Chain A
């Protein structure tokens, strides 16, 4: 089985992405997103599919929901020992699944609702998020056979090796309700067999689905690894997730400011802006020059209370955004949006490099 990152395997791929966001926080089940991504079947080759849902665990919304793959029981025992010593576990169970003929070789898939043990948290002198993400990183790198693939509050990632519509059916996503869904179908150029390599990639409550192949990968990786991140999967999605986590959580930029770092406007565009804006953009681009992402990408970022869609500056991958009432649809292809919402108030293709951000509290930032 080829596994991302192991033996320095780097697996570039082409893909399909999709997202649905309800600005008023209304929660809908996963059948819509599955239907949308299904129509883009030809953009995948069955070697990876996944979803992220936000607002799916209202009863446990203050707990971190860990979704974990285990290769075998031994890994599970080892991991649970670690979890028990670092977290208080409110609930643990297998993630409910439904057998599907095309989804095979499934690992053990478990879910835990946890909070850091107060005594540990205090003695570590870290904030809750930093504590949790360090523990997740530790499990993923040190406990063989265990992989935490989702670790946010009131949200969850569901992924596997298979077509996304099959993966959605396998995880019974029609039984979950979320105000924000993202989805991904993968077309890798190698044949990975490991479920952990599918998208979305997530860290705490930030999840990323990505279509593209970034040419700046190694420049970005070698920079972001200075700040405690380890790009063990060697995938573009992983490094993008770490970059956004670093810029928003650790450095304190807004998602809009982070977008002007990773998809910084061309110098000629910056020249034409007014003075303050110009100085800010030059400052951001210069300070974080190693976090500029070049090469085609179109990403949908889910985070608590919001969603962001962004294309590279040359718009080398497709992306359209549709609006109907309080619902926003984002997709690689218009057909996927039309499948679930025939008539839209508005549909447009965002400009390359300009972020499209929607949040629950009504704040909007979009390109038109």
Chain B
């Protein structure tokens, strides 16, 4: 084209002395960046197509490749950054809504990194996780405590349906369609082996995965893709997706290119058409409508499955959660503004919603103030990046966490943020057969199992350090946290004191 407004974001550095011209980079790049030039007799690269997914770098047997940020720059400007300027060029050219994938990359504060954890010393011994039992088993569901006894006076257990987890971590909703079949298989098998749950997302449940039903949460989103009676009864719980952290206020978005035969069958929609979920559920315009949907789902599943309501973290999340806690739902899942997604408008992903740490703290406090914290379990996500984040989340008041980006990273994702293109070189966020092949579930599920096993071990180490040997005693235990570099308002909302106090 005559005028190049958009310059390539990345530069590919190839050490030609190391390159053995095995052409793996060429074969493995779905964006067709690398090629072997017969005349020059060497590998050359077209950096304009590079998305920085690192597939070539990771596979190069002699480590000859590096991808760097293209040093070509605009004049330094604290206000008009290169990205901001380039976005305008794109929109002037296409009249389009800017689309991107994964979570909010802007530099808003990460509150996990401003909280520190306690350890026991002297007055109270720490506990050694190598030699003493350290329990992470978690039950999610309503905990009404009305004691029922039989004629002999023995207690008759009468709790509603519960989800039992071996560790307070679950895989969050990522739809079949946005993710590949192999990615779903990896998640399902890992969830089963670990004794936790994974979530179908709004793409329905593939018939091959019904056998993992005991470890599956089936999601009912605004588009109602793939929702039928067998679907609802196939999982261990049903989740109503009212919103997601990456794009509060709007529905899911799957570009037509990713809607193959198989995806279309599972979702019950035509092949090749964009699947754009409506913004609201068109039968839920108010909290009392939600109550009705919760009841219908419970009736459809014989009251045997807990119902989860997933909401995005927005300004009045505490009030919303309070309403949901009184609607009969068993679990509330809150998704913070850092949550990832397969495709979302950039402006909504980057500017709408609030951090999960603050949302969690205020919801937990509000529910306790109203005496209804027991009505629901709280699950939070968006983004939980390490076992330390999990410990802090539970200390702030969560029962368990949802992870998604972390799980994808375990599967090989390099956060290049171009999932919407459908050309994921790692076989995760694509439907192209030749690319999906690259994610072998044998390898994928093992990596997920490794990740959660490692995190659980770390959680136990931190618990032991605090003198806690059962995860229940960490829930809502805000004394175990202190803030650093937070102002008084932030400390008040989080309900923690400043380090040193």
Say if the two chains contact directly (CB < 8 Å): yes
Closest A residue, CB atoms, query B495: A222
Q: Which of chain B's residues have a CB closer than 8 A to the CB of A267? A: 133, 135, 137
Known pairs A225-B368, A284-B155, A287-B159; A295 contacts B467 (CB<8 A): yes
Q: Which of chain B's residues have a CB closer than 8 A to the CB of A220? A: 473
Q: Which of A46-54, A123-131, A156-164, A210-218 contacts B (4 or more CB under 8 A)?
A: A210-218
Q: Is the CB of A227 within 8 A of B468?
A: no
Q: Is the CB of B469 within 8 A of A314?
A: yes
User: When chains A and B are docked, how far (Å) is the Cα of A215 from the Cα of B124?
Assistant: 8
Q: Which of chain A's residues have a CB closer than 8 A to the CB of B467? A: 215, 294-296
Interface size range on B against A? 35 or more
Q: Which of B81-89, B226-234, B341-349, B477-485 contacts A (4 or more CB under 8 A)?
A: B477-485
User: When chains A and B are docked, how far (Å) is the Cα of A190 from the Cα of B469?
Assistant: 27
User: Smallest distance from the beta carbon of A279 to chain B beta carbons, Å?
Assistant: 5
User: When chains A and B are docked, how far (Å) is the Cα of A253 from the Cα of B153?
Assistant: 11
Q: Is the CB of A282 within 8 A of B368?
A: no
Q: Is the CB of B466 within 8 A of A215?
A: yes
Q: Is the CB of B470 within 8 A of A287?
A: no
Q: Is the CB of B476 within 8 A of A222?
A: yes
User: Smallest distance from the beta carbon of B143 to chain A beta carbons, Å?
Assistant: 5
Q: Is the CB of A287 within 8 A of B127?
A: no
User: When chains A and B are docked, how far (Å) is the Cα of A292 from the Cα of B474?
Assistant: 10
Q: Which of chain B's residues have a CB closer than 8 A to the CB of A289? A: 139, 143, 472, 475
Closest A residue, CB atoms, query B480: A218
Task: Return the CB mask of B455-496 against A: 1 if under 8 Å, else 0.
Answer: 000000000001111101111111110000000000000000
Q: Is the CB of A290 within 8 A of B132?
A: no
Q: Is the CB of B155 within 8 A of A283?
A: yes
Closest B residue, CB atoms, query A10: B479
From A14, A251, A279, A290, give the contact of B157 (CB < 8 A).
A279
Q: Which of chain B's residues have a CB closer than 8 A to the CB of A252? A: 147
Q: Which of chain B's residues have a CB closer than 8 A to the CB of A8? A: 497, 501
User: Smallest distance from the beta carbon of B463 to chain A beta carbons, Å?
Assistant: 9
Closest B residue, CB atoms, query A292: B472
Q: Is the CB of B478 within 8 A of A286?
A: no
Whether A189 is near chain B, meaning CB under 8 Å from some CB there, is: yes
Closest B residue, CB atoms, query A217: B479
Closest A residue, CB atoms, query B143: A287
Q: Which of chain B's residues have a CB closer than 8 A to the CB of A13? A: 123
Q: Which of chain A's residues have a CB closer than 8 A to the CB of B474? A: 216, 219
User: Smallest distance from the beta carbon of B303 to chain A beta carbons, Å?
Assistant: 18
Interface size range on A against B? 35 or more
Q: Is the CB of A219 within 8 A of B124?
A: no
User: Smallest distance from the beta carbon of B320 to chain A beta carbons, Å?
Assistant: 20
Whether A367 is near chain B, meaning CB under 8 Å from some CB there, is: no
User: When chains A and B are docked, how far (Å) is the Cα of A189 from the Cα of B122?
Assistant: 11
Whether B73 is near chain A, meaning CB under 8 Å from some CB there, is: no
Task: Return the CB mask of B121-159 against A: 1 if under 8 Å, else 0.
Answer: 001110100001101010100011101000000110111
Whether B120 is near chain A, meaning CB under 8 Å from some CB there, is: yes
User: When chains A and B are docked, how far (Å) is the Cα of A216 from the Cα of B118?
Assistant: 12
From B127, B145, B372, B475, give the contact of A251 (CB < 8 A).
B145
Q: Which of chain A's residues have a CB closer than 8 A to the CB of B139? A: 286, 289
User: When chains A and B are docked, how far (Å) is the Cα of A189 from the Cα of B136?
Assistant: 32
User: When chains A and B are docked, how far (Å) is the Cα of A282 from the Cα of B472?
Assistant: 13
User: When chains A and B are docked, how far (Å) is the Cα of A289 from the Cα of B142?
Assistant: 12
Q: Is the CB of A213 within 8 A of B468?
A: no
Known pairs A266-B133, A286-B162, A289-B143; A227 contacts B371 (CB<8 A): yes
Closest B residue, CB atoms, query A279: B157
Q: Is the CB of A226 within 8 A of B125?
A: no
Task: Return the CB mask of B402-438 against A: 1 if under 8 Å, else 0.
Answer: 0000000000000000000000000000000000000
Closest B residue, CB atoms, query A316: B125
Whether A336 is near chain B, meaning CB under 8 Å from some CB there, is: no
Known pairs A189-B123, A294-B468, A294-B470; A253 contacts B132 (CB<8 A): no
Whether B189 is near chain A, meaning CB under 8 Å from some CB there, is: no
User: When chains A and B are docked, how far (Å) is the Cα of A92 from the Cα of B203?
Assistant: 74
Q: Is the CB of B125 within 8 A of A253?
A: no
Q: Is the CB of A294 within 8 A of B125?
A: no
User: When chains A and B are docked, how far (Å) is the Cα of A257 from the Cα of B120?
Assistant: 29
From A216, A225, A282, A316, give the contact of B473 (CB < 8 A).
A216
Whether B11 is near chain A, meaning CB under 8 Å from some CB there, is: no
User: Smallest distance from the beta carbon of A213 to chain B beta carbons, Å?
Assistant: 4
User: Smallest distance from the beta carbon of A45 to chain B beta carbons, Å?
Assistant: 13
User: Smallest distance from the beta carbon of B326 to chain A beta carbons, Å?
Assistant: 15
Q: Which of chain B's residues have a CB closer than 8 A to the CB of A293? A: 473
Kindly identify, within residues 283 to 324 of chain A, every residue whose CB is under 8 Å from any CB belonging to chain B. 283-290, 292-296, 313-314, 316
Whether A58 is near chain B, meaning CB under 8 Å from some CB there, is: no
Determine which residue in A226, A268, A294 has the highest number of CB atoms from chain B within 10 A of its CB, and name it: A294
Q: Is the CB of A290 within 8 A of B472?
A: yes
User: When chains A and B are docked, how far (Å) is the Cα of A316 from the Cα of B474?
Assistant: 19
Q: Which of chain A's residues have a CB closer than 8 A to the CB of B298? A: none
Q: Is the CB of A219 within 8 A of B476?
A: yes
Whether A342 is near chain B, meaning CB under 8 Å from some CB there, is: no
User: When chains A and B are docked, how far (Å) is the Cα of A284 from the Cα of B78?
Assistant: 58
Q: Is the CB of A216 within 8 A of B155?
A: no
Whether B305 is near chain A, meaning CB under 8 Å from some CB there, is: no
Q: Is the CB of B468 within 8 A of A286?
A: no
User: Smallest distance from the beta carbon of B399 to chain A beta carbons, Å?
Assistant: 9
Known A252-B147, A290-B476; 13 more pairs at CB < 8 Å: A8-B497, A10-B479, A12-B123, A219-B472, A219-B477, A282-B157, A289-B139, A289-B143, A290-B472, A294-B470, A295-B120, A295-B473, A314-B132
Q: Which residues on A are within 8 Å of B, measured CB to CB?
A: 8, 10, 12-14, 189, 212-213, 215-220, 222-223, 225-227, 251-253, 257, 264, 266-268, 276, 279-280, 282-290, 292-296, 313-314, 316
Q: List 8 A-B contacts (CB under 8 A).
A: A12-B123, A215-B466, A215-B473, A253-B147, A268-B133, A283-B155, A290-B476, A292-B470
